[in-house]
Amino acid sequence: MSSSDSSRRSFIKSVGVVAAAATCGAAGAKAQEYKPQEQKKLTQAAARYQDHPNGMDACGTCPYFQFPKSCVLVEGDISPTGWCRMFTSFSPLDRGAHQ
Ligand code: SF4
């Protein structure tokens, strides 16, 4: 092996280390910036919220409702007898358990 082969390998290794460090640094910064708990809720208008039920469906039976008067998805005061287009009767935790 010549000395130029050795120095070329050394150079390639150092470039790889620098590239890996740069990639990890960028990913680390993005992970720190991502704060899902700070995601905004929908406005009541965007969710087409109404302060009365839609037939038998109402916020009080929706899994996104939070007692006494708020919602995980929609901002502002939410009535247990209200309703919006995100209404569901399935629990968000109940995924993939059906056969
Ligand atoms: S119906 Fe809409 S506003 Fe009411 S709890 Fe469910 S997601 Fe929230």
Per-residue pLDDT of the chain (99 residues; tens, 9 = 90+): 444 555 655 555 555 554 544 444 444 556 566 666 667 899 999 999 999 999 999 999 999 999 999 999 999 999 999 999 999 988 767 666 554
pLDDT at res. 96: 64
Q: Is 99 a member of any domain?
A: no
Of all protein residues, the one whose alpha carbon is nearest to atom 8 of ligand 1 is: 71
Q: Is 4 a member of any domain?
A: yes
Q: What residues make up the domain containing 20?
A: 1-37
CA angle 27, 32, 37 (to 5 degrees): 130
Q: Is 70 found in the same domain as 50?
A: yes
Distance from Cα 88 to the centre of ligand 1, integer Å: 8
Q: Is 3 a member of any domain?
A: yes
Pick the atom of ligand 1 nearest to 78's CA.
3
pLDDT at res. 35: 65
pLDDT at res. 22: 47
How many domains, in total, are found in the chain?
A: 2
Of all protein residues, the one whose alpha carbon is nearest to atom 4 of ligand 1 is: 59
Residues with CB under 6 A from ligand 1: 47, 49, 59, 62, 64-65, 71, 73-74, 78, 82-84, 86-87
Q: Is 65 found in the same domain as 25?
A: no
Q: Is 52 found in the same domain as 11?
A: no
Q: Is 47 found in the same domain as 21?
A: no
Region for 91 from its dihedrals, namely left if φ exceeds 0, alpha if ψ lies in -120 to 50, beta otherwise: beta
Q: Ligand 1 pocket test: which of 42, 44, 73 has the largest number of ligand atoms within 8 Å of its C-beta?
A: 73
CATH number for the domain including 68? 4.10.490.10
pLDDT at res. 71: 96
Q: Is 53 found in the same domain as 30?
A: no
Q: Is 12 a member of any domain?
A: yes
